[in-house]
Amino acid sequence: MDRKSFSVSRNCFNVVILILVLIMGNVEAQAKEVVNTKASGYLLCVNAITKVVTFPGKSACPKGTKRLVLGAQGVAGTNGLMGLAGLPGKDGTNGKDGKTLWNGKIDPVNALGSPGDMFINTVTNTLFGPKGVESGWPAGVSLVGPKGERGLAGATGSAGATGPAGPAGPAGPAGPAGEAIGGEPTFTLSSSSETRTVNTAATGFTISSTGGAITSFAISATPAGMSFNTSTGALTGTPTFIARATAYTITATSAAGYATRTFTLTVTAGVYTVGQTGPGGGKIFYVAATPFACGPTRAVTCTYLEAAPSGWNTGIEPTRRWANSTNQSTLVGSSGSPETATATAIGWGYRNTRAIILQGNTDTATSAAALADSYTATVTGGAVYDDWFLPSKDELNQMCKWQRGLGWISDATVCGNSGEINSGMGAAGFQPDGYWSSTEVVNDFAVFQYFDAGSQDITQKSSSLYVRPIRAF
């Protein structure tokens, strides 16, 4: 080694030793109170022989070492310059496409649909949407705009073809009695109107002729359950359907002409028994001991359950799956519908049915609930009944007991208990196989009932089983 370099190194080393000795000498007295924290400083111990520095973690140094105190942490310096911007993060996953147009008989709730979807309330003709990501469904807008001002009259068009003759209008008041002219008929009715309870014999009316000889009588329509005599003009019998006030035109014909009179009949709801024809043309299969809550929102009270008549679907009993392929493994209340479909009791079938449809099971060709909900019955007298639904578990059991002749058994008794009398499959066109209820059990299973054995079980929603709608009133 070069002697000059060695001399420099040795001098540097001596300087370092000198500095350490000075530091230790100056701070030894201060180190007595060091507690080894960031705020008060740290104690280091220097071996005078080996020059090894140690950190004892306490306020005293071992024998043969000197104290070296590092002061408390200084004041933080000013912030450095801002670093460069980082690289862009990965794109997030796309949300669900907002491309579905929903519809229903009640306003939508936020659990229904995806952002961008639209919804139409088919009862109030109100349009909602598009659904927002954060705000959910906005307030609805009526699809029926305000009535516009009357426009200017257009030019008179060419005369169209003569339309068919309209129904005869109501007869005017009877004129004063007088001698019949030319043999024209003149007659009166014993009564011009009547109100009767359904399935109760009506008084009807008889004819009194005061003019020319009447050769025949006719009526515009005969009320269900009643008879009209074309020779005497008498209306008699027992009305079997509920109907609003309905006007019937009675026409009397003679050799010289004809005359008309009007009779108005109103048929109100009464007391039904199991097996009677209901207002919707089906059969009453359950009469509650006390009224129960019912309807799509269970806001009304009902006493009776009515099954759709045999051939309600214009043929043999139809089969459908419980849910479409998209929803066969998903609970109703977890994907779109604001309600669940797990209710089992009497009075819950309508609500279950609406929940299933709101989930997206709207195709009548694939969904049992949609097919039952779509059924509409128009009965004699013009009344329309469109409140049919898929029965709940307990409602389906009552229908099973009725078709097997077991309607007298308590509500809690299952249709297929051993020892019960089986009257066969003849009632109202039921099939000896499984029928769907609207009661869901778990993700991909729902309740059904064998109408031959009477037992209830669960099966996958993808199964094809028979469908029979019911209604409550």
119 falls within a domain:
no
With a cut of 50, say whether residue 181 has pLDDT above it. no
Find which of 163-177, 226-240, 359-373, 441-455 is predicted with most confidence, using mean pLDDT: 359-373
CATH of residue 219's domain is 2.60.40.10
Distances (CA, A) of 354 to 152, 332, 370, 374, 438: 46, 11, 9, 11, 10
89 falls within a domain:
no
Q: Is there a single domain that holds both residue 435 and residue 356? A: yes
Instruction: Give residue 396's pLDDT.
Output: 95
Mean pLDDT of 319-343: 84
202 falls within a domain:
yes
pLDDT tens per residue across span 295-307: 999 999 999 999 9
Which of 236-250, 286-300, 406-420 bottoms out in mean pLDDT, i.e. has the lowest? 406-420
Q: Is there a single domain that holds both residue 369 and residue 249? A: no
- Given 268, 299, 334, the domain boundary residue is 268
Place of tokens 């669900």: 96
Which of 55-59, 255-259, 366-370 bottoms out in mean pLDDT, i.e. has the lowest? 55-59
Q: How many distinct structural domains can be found in the chain?
A: 3
More confident residue, 192 or 61: 192
With a cut of 50, say whether residue 24 has pLDDT above it. no
139 falls within a domain:
no
Q: In what order do the strands lie in the sheet with 470-472?
A: 283-294, 300-307, 470-472
Both tokens assigned to 152 = 């200017």
What's the CA angle centered on 323, arms 318 and 328, to 5 degrees? 140
Mean pLDDT of 207-231: 89
pLDDT band at 262 (very low <50, low <70, confident <90, very high): very high
Instruction: Give residue 96's pLDDT.
Output: 61
One-letter amino acid of 319: T
Helix count and strand count (H, E) for the chain: 4, 26
Instruction: Give residue 110's pLDDT.
Output: 85
- Given 268, 293, 324, the domain boundary residue is 268
Characterize the bridge pairing of strands 193-197 and 257-268.
parallel
Q: Is there a single domain that holds both residue 250 and residue 298? A: no
212 falls within a domain:
yes
- Given 242, 268, 294, the domain boundary residue is 268
Instruction: Give residue 306's pLDDT.
Output: 95
Q: Is there a single domain that holds both residue 398 and residue 446? A: yes
Mean pLDDT of 173-190: 66
pLDDT band at 169 (very low <50, low <70, confident <90, very high): low
Residue 328 belongs to what domain range? 283-472
With a cut of 70, say whether residue 318 has pLDDT above it. yes
Peptide bond before residue 130 is cis, with ω within 30 degrees of 0? yes
Mean pLDDT of 187-208: 86
Q: Is there a single domain that holds both residue 208 and residue 302? A: no
pLDDT band at 64 (very low <50, low <70, confident <90, very high): confident
Place of tokens 């019912």: 294
CA–CA distance, 120 with 411 (Å, rounded to integer): 39
148 falls within a domain:
no
Q: Is there a single domain that holds both residue 390 and residue 429? A: yes
pLDDT tens per residue across span 83-128: 787 788 787 676 666 678 888 888 998 888 889 889 999 988 899 9
Q: Is there a single domain that holds both residue 437 and residue 309? A: yes
Q: Are 43 and 31 in contact (CB under 8 A)?
A: yes
CA–CA distance, 237 with 417 (Å, rounded to integer): 42
Q: What percent of the chain has pLDDT over 70?
A: 80
Both tokens assigned to 359 = 């989930």
pLDDT tens per residue across span 398-422: 999 888 776 545 566 677 653 444 4
Q: Is there a single domain that holds both residue 251 and residue 400? A: no
Q: Are 277 and 240 in contact (CB under 8 A)?
A: yes
124 falls within a domain:
no
Q: Is there a single domain that holds both residue 320 and residue 442? A: yes
pLDDT band at 6 (very low <50, low <70, confident <90, very high): very low
Which of 16-30, 71-85, 157-171 bottoms out in mean pLDDT, i.e. has the lowest? 16-30
Place of tokens 């088919």: 122
Q: How many other C-beta atoms lie within 10 A of the C-beta of residue 409?
A: 16
More confident residue, 36 or 435: 435
Instruction: Give residue 174's pLDDT.
Output: 60
Which of 2-16, 129-143, 399-413 bottoms out in mean pLDDT, i.e. has the lowest? 2-16
pLDDT band at 381 (very low <50, low <70, confident <90, very high): low
329 falls within a domain:
yes
Which of 31-45, 84-98, 323-337, 410-424 bottoms out in mean pLDDT, i.e. has the lowest? 410-424
Mean pLDDT of 283-308: 93
One-letter amino acid of 83: G
Q: How many other C-beta atoms lie within 10 A of the C-beta of residue 371?
A: 21
Q: Is there a single domain that holds both residue 306 and residue 446? A: yes
CA–CA distance, 11 with 450 (Å, rounded to integer): 107
Q: What is the mean pLDDT of the chain?
A: 81
Q: Is there a single domain that holds both residue 237 and residue 359? A: no
Q: Is there a single domain that holds both residue 209 and residue 253? A: yes
Q: How many other C-beta atoms lie within 10 A of the C-beta of residue 332?
A: 27
